Structure 1
């Protein structure tokens, strides 16, 4: 995944390795298995020798590579590597007459760099392989569809911060938090989701991610008051069992959202501890040394911070047979995994920094019940330290994909929606996007990169259409990058029909079900891209190589032995200047033809490149090598 550095010879941009089956004979090896590692180099590169340098038992281990194959453009070097430890890090040393280069997950360098830059193989890692085929769809349940009006929250049914619950009419705008305090309810429920599964299957969706559905007092339900009860306003436990049955009939999956970091202020764990310092659950909490009161999450009074120094808390959350995180994996619910809310803060407070400890201990307890359960942590920041195969399976890849693409399309840096002074409103240059992609992808094993959770927006961010200045062409460009990128794509409900929305809760509007309110062209574009994703093995498990990141253009290659695709997106004005995409770097020969699966246009390789010129504003291409 190299970015060609200007102080390096041109041929170095054609050196490539990634952790896909293109370059590792078995990307998911068993312990002590010997795999063949491959490296592609340009045919004319003045290379004398190539070595694999692996870190084995704390010492460098050198493996000479041999030329296994020559193509019209490349030499394929190969060497054996035995994976005799749970994690094996390696890089390449390329020898020339005039000196040597190191090639790592961050690209080519004359200088040696820290081992953290290395490629990584994991031994005996059991990946949740089903997610590679998944197209996720995120639903904020109260706002998706009202399937059973009899369970709607009523006016004045309960109260929070002096605000009573309000029953709203579908289609009205959410009330801003300062006035509504998340107490406005629209009636969406699990029955409604069940009734709309055929709509989702028609779109191409295979998997659901639901914001919390457990008993709680707000519309967002991140203030969970009972981990073992589905909120009756969402249909109760039986509605989840029925949704599971309906998903099974359609071959679909589901993950639920849970707050491992905190609970709601009406949770009996908190009520008992608040009223009785000697209660069994008192140790579930930290007490603020300044106020003497139970700690809250970021000062929010209805969200009480959990203290993982408590072994009893760990029992109830994930170690007991009926622990919260194990209970819903079993019959009749059989959910397929968890999205772990504010995973970045779980276990962490002042002198207690227990997040690694919690995830490492939790993982086997979850996998014992459901070996292919998907453990997804919420990280707006860098989640890569938790993605080494022994903690989480993936993060919500905000830093590694979402934020950079949003900044490229509309200058929506973290903090801009709240007008913080650290928010950057300027468009991110294309080369900076590529560099950010490379750094975060290179920081995790490639088998993990293939299951990272990628979105253009979520319930915690402004809608992507709003970010793009209501420019639907730019949304299409971003959607193409999303569907082609390594990892698991997820659509935020309504984006496919042109929904917009600003700062939370405006981004949580009700889903429009009157088709005359839909942007049918946008929905058809999503359907086509999803279809391409479903029918393209290279987009699911293939390797990744950046080809072009300049001006207003981004282009990258996804490749398997039997399929090569190039995904490109242009954000500039109509009638783009010529962009010369150096496909020789990806091993593509002169005379080869690439067909755009979106427009049908065909491009021919000449002089090692294809020329993309005259593109329309926001145009995306998915070029397949013929």
Structure 2
């Protein structure tokens, strides 16, 4: 076969990089927070855990030490070489869990000098503590999320189960617009035309009616956009935190849905707006009228009644002021507070998604987010220790992921956005500022660099429960992001389902629903199967089933093995299973590709079987040869 010059160049580059990585044997040093390398990833205070470090036999490492800092003072623990296999030596040492957060790193003394190894990698010099591995003591981890695949539903647009609940044309007005009931399947109206008052009649009854469909898809948890009483279709302007909107079926419909889901061993998470209320919420209207009202200090008024602090200056969304202790009591401290109320019977929800968490309890000089976040966690976990608490954060949410606030964030910067950028040259899914979008493809090297940077600064037990998506109600849909390229959609889904974290499917993505920026991304779910992409749906079902049954994907650690151009390879490893995931988003077809694997502790003679296809291969000379890799290909190799 005669290769094009571009293909010859790519092939030569792969061979050169493979040789370079083989020479860099120190890249085979590995540790993560999984049970393969930590005897108990969820230790109790006072417990001693055993740490393991994998080191290539030919790395020339002479001594290894665990470096920790109990109560701020340096402590060194010598490790011993405990066992070896064909490729690696395993060094073992102990770490005493003395603090709520226990940071540590390794120091290796080799024939070529000393190296520090932390969650970011191997360095010939010391590094800031922020990059150290971290073990959390007494961490209330919602372990059920590790085996979960979520499905996000925008309630008004999923299924109309009871037309008698539908809003009626002109039933109310808001912001100068009147309610309009649209026909199912009609495109959503622009905000400027509808004022977010175009309704389609989706309700909780309809969601319950479609549980069979969701179980057949394979998902076992649902995240619902807001369902509380509100005047808009998105319901982020809440009028009553204790009342499910009557047009969704009211509180009784939530009880029925929750009961039906739990009977199927499914979980349900609701969406809350702790940052703001609507301007028609009784808390606000009372405060607006009377400076001595019980809720007067829940908001920040500059000059009553109409000059007040609002979210991004949107007057219909007045911002809550958490310097008010009573607000804290009502929102989460009291036994009958908002956040506790819905966790209890008869509703029994399984967690909260907190809207606009990046701005909650922040207003100029008044920065209370840390204390409020800590108190929210304490209240939620006191009510239901296994509840899942995650927050919306489009930016760097890692300060809130240190073990004393959130279980997770919507992992936009640590997964979603870099994946879009890698797949499609698209790094701004909201399109709010299109002039800021970078349309160049992110290289695989840069992709892995961003993923590692965001994961390295948080504990592993939090990394594995980060909330990962390809798109959401706030972003352009994945099919539009990749400009209709279904091969890239499948590749994105494969990476979503195999990368550490809790994967979530946005309703309709599994059948190929398109959608541009909000509100076009909130179209109605088509229930005429003739409109579905059945090939894509079959792919979703298959890979969701794999995500929920493969031990390495449920509880395995992570090691990035290869990143070059459009090719990305990583290892997921548990005690029961090892998987090598290969993804390629390049336009050219690659031929005769040698992917280095020895630095993943993978010995020659290991057989690789692709769980997505019929291909198998054998590791030789430290790597695996794949004869052809096409645009959008994904391989999930199980090691035998």
TM-score between both structures, scaled by the size of structure 2: 0.95
Residue 99, structure 1, aligned to residue 103, structure 2: no
C-alpha separation between the residues in 2 aligned to 1:97 and 1:531?
A: 47
Q: Name 2:419's counterpart in structure 1.
A: 405
- 2:63 aligned counterpart, secondary structure: strand
Alignment of 1:8-47 (within 5 A): 10-47=24-61
1:561 to 575, 593, 601: 575
- 1:421 aligned counterpart, secondary structure: helix
Q: Name 1:75's counterpart in structure 2.
A: 89
Residue 379, structure 1, aligned to residue 393, structure 2: yes
Q: Identify the range of structure 1 (129-138 vs 423-432) with the bigger mean alpha-carbon deviation.
A: 423-432
Alignment of 1:494-533 (within 5 A): 494-533=508-547
Residue 335, structure 1, aligned to residue 349, structure 2: yes
The one-character-per-residue Cα deviations of 1:135-188 (angstroms, maximum 9, x if unpaired) are: 100000000000000010111111122111110000000001122121100000
Alignment of 1:78-89 (within 5 A): 78-89=92-103
C-alpha separation between the residues in 2 aligned to 1:365 and 1:10?
A: 49
Q: Name 1:165's counterpart in structure 2.
A: 179
C-alpha separation between the residues in 2 aligned to 1:394 and 1:70?
A: 36
Contact 1:49 1:96 in 2 (8 A): yes
Q: Name 2:319's counterpart in structure 1.
A: 305
Q: Name 2:291's counterpart in structure 1.
A: 277
Q: Name 2:555's counterpart in structure 1.
A: 541
Residue 588, structure 1, aligned to residue 605, structure 2: no
The one-character-per-residue Cα deviations of 1:76-96 (angstroms, maximum 9, x if unpaired) are: 000011111111100010102
Q: Name 2:635's counterpart in structure 1.
A: 621
C-alpha separation between the residues in 2 aligned to 1:457 and 1:530?
A: 17
- 1:304 aligned counterpart, secondary structure: coil
Residue 266, structure 1, aligned to residue 296, structure 2: no
Contact 1:4 1:13 in 2 (8 A): no
C-alpha separation between the residues in 2 aligned to 1:297 and 1:449?
A: 29
Deviation at 1:292, TM superposition (A): 7.3
Contact 1:214 1:226 in 2 (8 A): yes
Deviation at 1:486, TM superposition (A): 0.6
Deviation at 1:561, TM superposition (A): 2.1
Residue 147, structure 1, aligned to residue 161, structure 2: yes
Residue 48, structure 1, aligned to residue 62, structure 2: yes
C-alpha separation between the residues in 1 aligned to 2:276 and 2:321?
A: 9
Contact 1:416 1:424 in 2 (8 A): no
- 1:303 aligned counterpart, secondary structure: coil
Contact 2:332 2:340 in 1 (8 A): yes
- 1:365 aligned counterpart, secondary structure: helix
Taking a change above 3 Å as real, the CA distance of residues 5 and 348 of structure 1, as seen in their structure-2 partners, is: farther
Residue 192, structure 1, aligned to residue 213, structure 2: no
C-alpha separation between the residues in 2 aligned to 1:138 and 1:370?
A: 22
C-alpha separation between the residues in 1 aligned to 2:576 and 2:89?
A: 18
Contact 1:89 1:115 in 2 (8 A): yes
C-alpha separation between the residues in 2 aligned to 1:9 and 1:310?
A: 60
* Cα RMSD for the two superposed structures: 1.7
Taking a change above 3 Å as real, the CA distance of residues 109 and 350 of structure 1, as seen in their structure-2 partners, is: same
Residues matched between the structures, number: 624
Contact 2:410 2:468 in 1 (8 A): yes
The one-character-per-residue Cα deviations of 1:559-610 (angstroms, maximum 9, x if unpaired) are: 0122000111111235324433211111111111110001120011111111
- 2:598 aligned counterpart, secondary structure: helix
Deviation at 1:7, TM superposition (A): 11
- 1:557 aligned counterpart, secondary structure: strand
The one-character-per-residue Cα deviations of 1:36-67 (angstroms, maximum 9, x if unpaired) are: 11100101111110111011111110000110
1:241 to 249, 255, 260: 255
1:296 to 297, 307, 310: 310
Q: Name 2:335's counterpart in structure 1.
A: 321
Contact 1:225 1:264 in 2 (8 A): yes
Question: Where does structure 2 lack aligned partners over 5 or more consecutive residues?
Answer: 1-16
Q: Name 2:494's counterpart in structure 1.
A: 480
Alignment of 1:605-620 (within 5 A): 605-620=619-634
C-alpha separation between the residues in 1 aligned to 2:18 and 2:415?
A: 20
After the TM superposition, which segments of 4 or more aligned residues of structure 1 sit over 3 Å from their partners?
A: 3-9, 288-292
C-alpha separation between the residues in 1 aligned to 2:139 and 2:93?
A: 22
Contact 1:590 1:607 in 2 (8 A): yes
- 2:127 aligned counterpart, secondary structure: coil
Contact 2:18 2:594 in 1 (8 A): no
Question: Where does structure 1 lack aligned partners over 5 or more consecutive residues?
Answer: none
